[in-house]
Amino acid sequence: MFITRYIKEVWGAVKSLTTGMKRTLYYFTHHKEIITEQYPDNRDTLVLPDRFKGEVVMPHNESNEHRCTGCTACELACPNGTIKVITRFDITPEGKKKKAIDKLVYHLELCTMCGLCIEACPSDAIKMAQTFEHSVFDRNKLTKVLNNPDSKIMEGVE
Ligand code: SF4
Ligand code: SF4
């Protein structure tokens, strides 16, 4: 009969709603058990897994020095042309020509985070960072120069 079916359906809906509300109320009073985190509210406390890869970066020390020799091994190892190493020749105090990096251009929008460039680098000059908020309106902003302006190679790195 129609009315019986209607009452059954309403009863089913109320039961289901109560079950959901019970779970909601439980977590409302048991905050510590909540696993799901609310991003971006948790930005300051967010802990990413060690193996998370966000982008390739080139660390510099406090004297604005990096470890890149401009050998281009990373560029050759990259399977999709994400890295372009532009080199120049510097003159050493002894008057000799020495290859140096001018710009290491990195196209984040192409990077698959495979890590092959980092493995290939003989000088430990690049690494993966865990930064991940990369959304931009202008795609060109995803093309980055990894070496800082006016930076130079660290003493002793060949
Ligand atoms: S992580 Fe992979 S895709 Fe990205 S720059 Fe390095 S080699 Fe290329
Ligand atoms: S980052 Fe490493 S592999 Fe790439 S050019 Fe510099 S030294 Fe060579």
Phi and psi at residue 8, to the nearest 5°: -60, -45
How far away, in angstroms, is 78 Cα from ligand 1 center? 5
Same domain, 78 and 117: yes
**Ligand 2 pocket test, candidate residues 58, 74, 99, most atoms within 8 A of CB:** 74
Identify any residues that bridge with 3 across adjacent strands, giving them in sequence order. Answer: none
Domain with 24 in it: 2-33
Residue 98: pLDDT above 90? no
Q: Can you tell me the mean pLDDT for 101-127?
A: 97
Q: Can you tell me the mean pLDDT for 38-53?
A: 89
Q: Could you tell me which residue, 14 or 28, shows the higher pLDDT?
A: 14
* CATH number, domain containing residue 127: 3.30.70.3270
Same domain, 67 and 143: yes
Q: Which ligand has its closest atom nearest to the C-alpha of 56?
A: 1
Ligand 2 in reach of 78 Cβ (< 6 A):
no
Q: Can you tell me the mean pLDDT for 24-51?
A: 86
pLDDT digits (tens, 9 = 90+) for 54-82: 999 999 999 999 999 999 999 999 999 99
Question: Percent of the chain scored above 70 by pLDDT?
Answer: 100
Same domain, 27 and 64: no
Q: Could you tell me which residue, 48 or 115, shows the higher pLDDT?
A: 115
Question: CA of 12: how far to CAs of 2, 17, 27, 81, 132, in Å?
Answer: 15, 9, 23, 58, 44
Q: What total number of domains does the chain contain?
A: 2
Ligand 2 in reach of 126 Cβ (< 6 A):
yes
What does the radius of gyration of the chain's CA atoms come to, in whole angstroms? 27
From 6-15, 29-38, 85-94, the region with the lowest mean pLDDT:
29-38
Residue 156: pLDDT above 90? no
Same domain, 82 and 134: yes
